[in-house]
Structure 1
């Protein structure tokens, strides 16, 4: 549990950082500003309170570790002085602080915080004031006020201040109080003591012998196994008996719980003015605090009394109910982004303790958690920083709170008497950030009703239409053997895509897989754990908020089983250099449809023992083998491939063979023998040159392939081009100069010679 750092362990000499809790009564403030009474030290030096640790609140709420505290124990100690005893009966404070029913003071402290927490936090006690009674301190009022410093009002030097008074009061009740009962969250700390001092509060009287209500801490006092450090001190009365109101008690107890002041310590602006208990709203109710302002939205969120609804998508005409009856606060920022700067929206009505508000409707707070306090007013045209930590966006755009013109008026709320129906980047006041950059948020209002206000809340994501459905590209039917399946679709304007995969027996009500946060136009999904069979897939797109329609579903067949049964056939022997090879279709293994065999490859072994791909992924069931050599045996096998890409596995056995025996005198030649001398010599070069110059042709021709009717001077082809040209003469010359040997035409090799 995070507690505030203790400021000062040696009470004699260390100045505690202090932040004053209770603002002066408006009438007293006027007297101070007009010089009728001396200015308190904490007003002449606005940093005095922050330097000394008074009413600064906590980094985290006091009871953060407890989600609910239906009954939280707090101790009230009544303390008088040697020169002024308490006159109110102690049982009066039983009722004012812990009573179930309101009284002439307004709601009780218990009432107020039970309502502000929506029933989750109820203040009770083990030792009520009526059981501990008034305690009389050994010193007079002067000792605990003016002796600590001029105009310090109980916040001067130790022990001449409220710290010294608190330490004495704790010791005085120790015999009858078990302080361990007041550690509500088990962190070893008493969560806070409420001191009620005899007499008036200086925030009304201005008397330098009176104590100005505040919250502070003392050097830890270990009693009953727990440390006592934190306390607030409030008055017995304002001017006369039975005239006490609850506002100051609620305000100071807010500090005990961890809330800071939300008014301007420099008193040149109002901060949140009378719209918040933690500012001047503690005086609401005939100017004396009988109807203190409700805790503002930021304070209730800070204490954990409310979890705001972070608006991430446009909410069209959402009901914003009155916060006095409903724990409903809306948080707005660009696209719902989380960060230190944002807006809070709530509805305030003139009910419960808010009866003294000047108006009703939506209140919009501009929050910047990076600011330490509400001491620095800001309005358009000023540098971006500093500014308030919690500012009210006043609907009339007059910035009266910042200009110290008034502490609230009926045109501060939306739409209010200013009839301001819009809050956005372009209306006034603007929804832009403190740097002047647009946030793109927008709020539109309808007239308030007894139930609250209907508002259009847009975090900058509004789109008039949902995105169109994408068109699926692949797979779009057919089959696939890919374990890592690739899905692809067309681009549409989107924020995310939603991808779904299902089996054919499903209807996507319970898809076998889905991903709703796909940023690109494809998806790769590992399907190693799925059986072969039909699958369906579809995609839709959504903008930041609008969900588009689903695409039409496409199917594909996952098939990882290769086909079988394709068999090659050829004549057992032939006397030709070419012959026809055929093969059967084969079939896919069940449950794949047989017609899914798509292509075939045929492999040939021409005698070397290494089969080579003669036909690759062809779509026909026969082909002519050409260029067969006399005396050789050619062996074949066929493999089918299905549409999924699976190829039949060869079992190592050739399915057919053909022996070639051409016989006879046909094509019995010596490569390069142009003059038909049965040898290849330089004379063949001379003969060939003469032929191409018009001399006699070679005497030997050959039909190649046999039966083709194609007779040519095959012996003159020495470069393997299956023709007799001048290039062959060049090749002959190179050969006799040491070049490569003659190459026969592969389609018509010499059978023998």
Structure 2
């Protein structure tokens, strides 16, 4: 067995890119608060952007953790005559490959390449005191949950969901082991197993199990094949266990978390030349989940596995984990319902790399295709900044239909079809963790408590509701001219939904005269 130097500090568990902040509600981030040495500035255009609107290119350097300057780009400028501007997210110099910045360099790839698909290792875990036989659990069901085809599950398998949601750009290569891994001790031993981490006892029994499993597998299979991008890190590790679900116990719940199990010298353990950087942990019984609990033995509900794998790929929870507010009202796969990923998440994963920005002097009429077909979107923004790509503040429009991953009884988010408007504030901060180590980061979340840790009060993503308090804009409905962004500036355009057909929406945008 060799060893690989662990590239993880206490700060990395807390000060990560948006992708690395993708914990479930059970991830104990509060225990690691207070580790930022300094938040130097909020970057909206950033240093050396060359923009005349960027405060001399320096951004906001007063150390505040609120976005006082708003988007600092050139805005729509001389594109107004055309009425619309095509934006290419891949040209964002600060946002380029945010999912690969600093601490998330070892995360699961979000896109397949011509030569490799991201590799996922699924390890069924059976405890001696909670056996699979006693629960009626089968590996065949786990295989169907992750690799099954149409009809094998109540919704989609993890593989098929992400293949369809990514428009074919993510073709996961998922291997589910043929037999249960049996840890050395009973479940109570691991539930209570802790290690000292910067003077604090951190529960890592699940990580010890993962290490035991990889050690056993090293002699039976080549684990290096699960490193598709050649970074010496297994792309994704999933452990499906036989535990009873208990929402009051992290160990008995579902989450994705970072591996901090190392030796005395802070090294990761390495097997076949690779190691595990993070992992997904979930009880098998989530397959039995329905509206009454987790006892539907005939169920094949893959929602939780799909949701948690969204964290593995780098998405946040979009519900308020403090259960104070409801920015998306539950209507998202990363919130509380089954359906497709929203456009911002697909921007973040790199599945969608362009959009259209409204830039009319007076008004313009545009068409918007069914989002499920090809990911068509329209943006409205004050002072759009190309340098920041998708990581800034804007309003995002998509034509929602009950097609694709939203089709079928009990799937999808709304009965009505029409335009959804998301207010996104994925503003980039420039952080100096310690002298000489600086990186860009996204700190807005949909949880008030997490935002407070960073001194922000803004949601990462939220719906802009209709005048009737709904979420879907139907024919004839109009976006209010009084909507303000997080800097207090009114939205630059309003719109009216002119017509909705099966595949296309027609929308007229009008310059907001109230600003």
- TM bin, normalised by shorter chain, reads 0.5 to 0.7
Deviation readout 1:308-344 (Å, 9 max, x if unpaired): 3131544844332222222212222136544521111
Please state whether the residue corresponding to 2:181 is helix, strand or coil.
Answer: strand
Question: Cα offset for 1:357?
Answer: 1.4
| 1:215 aligned residue | 256
Query: Which residues of structure 1 form unaligned runs of 5+?
Result: 24-39, 150-155, 282-291, 378-383, 399-410, 462-753
Structure 1 77/8 Cα, relative in aligned 2: closer, same or farther at 3 Å? farther
| 2:51 aligned residue | none
Q: How many residues are matched?
A: 387
Which TM-score applies when normalising by structure 2?
0.66
1:143-158 aligned within 5 A = 143-145=189-191, 157-158=201-202
Question: Cα offset for 1:358?
Answer: 2.7
Q: In the alignment, is the contact (CA less than 8 A) between 1:307 and 1:329 conserved in 2?
A: no
Deviation readout 1:278-324 (Å, 9 max, x if unpaired): 1222xxxxxxxxxx121111111000111231315448443322222
Greater relative contact order structure (CA < 8 Å, 6+ sep): 2
Q: Does residue 437 of structure 2 align to residue 368 of structure 1?
A: no
| 1:251 aligned residue | 307
Please state whether the residue corresponding to 1:310 is helix, strand or coil.
Answer: strand
Question: Cα offset for 1:453?
Answer: 2.2
| 1:6 aligned residue | 8
Aligned Cα RMSD in Å? 3.8
Separation in structure 2 between the aligned mates of residue 241 and residue 51 of structure 1, nearest angstrom: 44
| 1:75 aligned residue | 121
| 1:260 aligned residue | 316
Q: Does residue 301 of structure 2 align to residue 224 of structure 1?
A: no
Separation in structure 2 between the aligned mates of residue 101 and residue 41 of structure 1, nearest angstrom: 33
Deviation readout 1:29-60 (Å, 9 max, x if unpaired): xxxxxxxxxxx896xxx8348789xxxx8756
1:509-520 aligned within 5 A = none
Q: In the alignment, is the contact (CA less than 8 A) between 1:361 and 1:452 conserved in 2?
A: no
Separation in structure 1 between the aligned mates of residue 336 and residue 7 of structure 2, nearest angstrom: 27
Separation in structure 1 between the aligned mates of residue 490 and residue 116 of structure 2, nearest angstrom: 43
Deviation readout 1:111-144 (Å, 9 max, x if unpaired): 110111001111123x4333xx111112222223
Structure 1 310/78 Cα, relative in aligned 2: closer, same or farther at 3 Å? same
Q: Does residue 30 of structure 2 align to residue 47 of structure 1?
A: yes
| Higher relative helix content | 2
Separation in structure 2 between the aligned mates of residue 20 and residue 64 of structure 1, nearest angstrom: 14
Separation in structure 2 between the aligned mates of residue 455 and residue 70 of structure 1, nearest angstrom: 40
Structure 1 68/437 Cα, relative in aligned 2: closer, same or farther at 3 Å? farther
Q: In the alignment, is the contact (CA less than 8 A) between 2:318 and 2:334 conserved in 1?
A: yes
| 2:471 aligned residue | 412
Please state whether the residue corresponding to 1:245 is helix, strand or coil.
Answer: coil
Please state whether the residue corresponding to 1:275 is helix, strand or coil.
Answer: coil
Separation in structure 2 between the aligned mates of residue 257 and residue 107 of structure 1, nearest angstrom: 18
The partner residue of 1:279 within 329, 335, 344 is 335
Q: In the alignment, is the contact (CA less than 8 A) between 1:68 and 1:121 conserved in 2?
A: no
Question: Cα offset for 1:16?
Answer: 11
Separation in structure 2 between the aligned mates of residue 337 and residue 447 of structure 1, nearest angstrom: 31
The partner residue of 2:399 within 323, 347, 350 is 347
Q: In the alignment, is the contact (CA less than 8 A) between 1:74 and 1:193 conserved in 2?
A: yes
Question: Cα offset for 1:160?
Answer: 4.9
Please state whether the residue corresponding to 1:226 is helix, strand or coil.
Answer: coil
The partner residue of 1:99 within 148, 169, 172 is 148
Which TM-score applies when normalising by structure 1?
0.46
| 1:181 aligned residue | 225
Structure 1 433/450 Cα, relative in aligned 2: closer, same or farther at 3 Å? same
Structure 1 361/186 Cα, relative in aligned 2: closer, same or farther at 3 Å? same
| 1:112 aligned residue | 161
Q: In the alignment, is the contact (CA less than 8 A) between 1:113 and 1:122 conserved in 2?
A: yes
| 1:639 aligned residue | none
Q: In the alignment, is the contact (CA less than 8 A) between 1:275 and 1:296 conserved in 2?
A: no
| 2:437 aligned residue | none
Structure 1 293/41 Cα, relative in aligned 2: closer, same or farther at 3 Å? closer
Structure 1 100/71 Cα, relative in aligned 2: closer, same or farther at 3 Å? farther
Please state whether the residue corresponding to 2:372 is helix, strand or coil.
Answer: coil
Deviation readout 1:381-411 (Å, 9 max, x if unpaired): xxx951101111122475xxxxxxxxxxxx2
Question: Cα offset for 1:425?
Answer: 2.9
| 2:372 aligned residue | 324
The partner residue of 2:356 within 310, 335, 341 is 310
Which structure: larger Rg?
A: 1
Structure 1 266/209 Cα, relative in aligned 2: closer, same or farther at 3 Å? closer
| 2:488 aligned residue | 436
Separation in structure 1 between the aligned mates of residue 125 and residue 15 of structure 2, nearest angstrom: 23
Question: Cα offset for 1:439?
Answer: 3.7
Question: Cα offset for 1:64?
Answer: 6.2
Q: In the alignment, is the contact (CA less than 8 A) between 1:322 and 1:451 conserved in 2?
A: yes
Structure 1 241/165 Cα, relative in aligned 2: closer, same or farther at 3 Å? farther
